[in-house]
Amino acid sequence: MKTYYVALYLALLTTAFASDDPRQLVSAMTKCPWPGESYPALPSFSTAMMGRITGEIAGRPVLLEAFRHLDSSGSNNDWFDAIAVLEREKAIWSLQACLCHPHDDVQIHALRSLLRLGDRAAVPFLLIYADYMAVHESGSENATIHGIIHSAIAETLSGLTGESVKIDGQDPEALTKAIRKWTIWQTKQPD
């Protein structure tokens, strides 16, 4: 009987990863693969944002395959290749979804891709993401990586908005001040 349940579980797992359902793929990408919760917490997608993400990848085999490779239980080589595909395909909504991937290195790569693409439509969600990241993280390795995220956020939002802010390493206070500056910029943009 135990063998049956193991086989059933493996079949369900394989089906989820082989899925063409964009919602399942986004869910597999953003699922935390370790016990407990991520710190800092990552934002959730609004209904509108999820619609943009799933609408962008639905029916596009190259993006569906990229999302299969972004599964959070996978490896960084697969993730980085998938992000390169998303950038090449100019999939800005999918790249923003990568900001909710539980692995920091995926978030950093996605931030850099969004900067290179230069699409200002990413600014509203980047502001939400930046607000979630504007916290202190302790521990030498965690703090270093979190500092890279703070710097990458500043580079990306400075590049997209033209409101230049430089953040070197982890600095929640500077990031919070910068978010106010970029939010003011955003409010002045035509709808």
The type of residue at 111 is: L
pLDDT of res. 35: 86
Shared domain for 76 and 128, answered yes or no, is: no
- On whether both 1 and 90 belong to a single domain, the answer is yes
Structural domain span for residue 150 = 118-191
Question: Does pLDDT of 178 surpass 60?
Answer: yes
Write down how long the chain is.
191
Domain count, the chain: 2
Minimum mean pLDDT among 30-44, 49-63, 128-142, 147-161: which range? Answer: 30-44
Judged against a pLDDT cut of 80, whether residue 122 lies above it is answered with yes
pLDDT of residue 3: 52
Structural domain contains residue 150: yes
Q: Per the domain annotation, does 165 fall within a domain?
A: yes
User: 123 in a domain, yes or no?
Assistant: yes
**Is residue 155 located within the same domain as residue 95?**
no
DSSP reduced 3-state for 162: coil
Confidence grade of residue 17 (pLDDT, cut at 50, 70, 90):
very low
This model's pTM is above 0.85: yes
